[in-house]
Amino acid sequence: MIRLYRRLINGALRACLNLKYGTEPIPLSKISLWWGRTWGPDGLHPMSEQPLKGSSLTNEFLSKALKDEIFNPWSMSPMVLNILEAHIRNHRPSRVLELGSGLSTLCLARYMHEAGHGDVEPPLVVSVEQDERYATLTRQRLKDFGSDMEAEVIVAPMAPQEIEGHATRCYDLGSTALQKYRGQFDLLVIDGPSGEPGARFGTLPLARDFLTKGAWFFLDDAARDSEVGIAQAWNNMTGVNVIGLSMVGRGVLIGRVS
């Protein structure tokens, strides 16, 4: 019964926020008013979400190629991927850095292919994966799609680190092939690592050396309490501007770095 009440109250809250803001980012100051005041943990995060198929993607090629593919709760929502497609079409980044590989890697590679990339040498998408098994699966899917030249998957295991004064575990990027791409990414998409609550705090600080000035970042699963806390911590860092949280899918945080 309590779970049912939580679902109803938190669902009503999300509905109100969606009614006012739609897919537009809700300012972090507004999100902070609700954070910790909802009924139960992760009050802004949907308690359950109906798995969607690839047919929900707005991209014509992908909606056909992935029409029967189930985007499970560990995959980025097609609704979030549609937002990323619009961003890439409008802003035309030269390269994309993704943290956490999978179906989203296939989609990002396709978006970049269709957007065009001028004189930029491939890969146009570089995806960092913590698990060799998943990296191998993603590489094979990219090959099957004919996108293996446009996207590269790099393995970076998790390691204990101190980042911005926080003791945490995050990707060990120090000796990876990512080093040759310093200062080359205009867009950062964060959908990993998989780990304990707060594990994604270190992602943006670790990635900053690889980003261009003014690069955009998107953080998936951002309606969880731990991710709202991460957003507040990031927004206090010099040169980071958290624009807001879009209540699409499981929430996506949008911001820029300078």
In this predicted model, what pLDDT tens digit does every residue of 36-48 receive, in sequence order?
555 455 555 665 5
Nearest to 166 by CA among 111, 214, 205, 210: 205
Q: What distance in Å separates the CA atoms of residue 31 and residue 24, rounded to the nearest whole number?
A: 13
Domains detected in the chain: 2-257 (3.40.50.150)
Contact predicate 176/128, CB 8 Å: yes
pLDDT at residue 248, rounded to an integer: 87
Give pTM, 2 decimals. Answer: 0.89
pLDDT at residue 39, rounded to an integer: 45
Contact predicate 254/224, CB 8 Å: no
Q: What distance in Å separates the CA atoms of residue 133 and residue 143, rounded to the nearest whole number?
A: 16
For residue 172, give both structure tokens: 């060990």
pLDDT in tens, the chain (258 residues): 545 545 555 556 666 666 666 667 888 887 765 555 554 555 556 655 677 888 999 999 999 999 999 888 788 999 999 999 999 999 999 999 999 999 999 999 999 999 987 677 889 999 999 999 999 999 999 999 999 889 999 999 999 999 998 899 999 998 889 999 999 999 999 999 988 888 899 999 999 999 999 999 999 999 888 898 899 999 999 999 999 999 888 889 999 998
Residue 176 burial (C-beta neighbours within 10 Å; 0-12, 13-18, 19+): middle
Instruction: List, in sequence order, every residue forming a beta bridge with 257; answer none if it has no partner.
Output: 240
CA 258 to chain CA centroid, Å, is: 19
Residue 37 burial (C-beta neighbours within 10 Å; 0-12, 13-18, 19+): exposed
Contact predicate 107/77, CB 8 Å: no
pLDDT at residue 209, rounded to an integer: 94
pLDDT at residue 7, rounded to an integer: 56
According to DSSP, the β-strands at 70-71 and 52-53 are antiparallel
Q: What distance in Å separates the CA atoms of residue 183 and residue 65, rounded to the nearest whole number?
A: 33
Radius of gyration of the CA atoms of the chain, in A:
18
Average pLDDT, the chain: 86
Q: Which helix (H) or strand (E) holds 44?
A: none
Q: What distance in Å separates the CA atoms of residue 36 and residue 92, rounded to the nearest whole number?
A: 37
Q: What distance in Å separates the CA atoms of residue 232 and residue 223, rounded to the nearest whole number?
A: 13
Q: Which helix (H) or strand (E) holds 191?
A: none
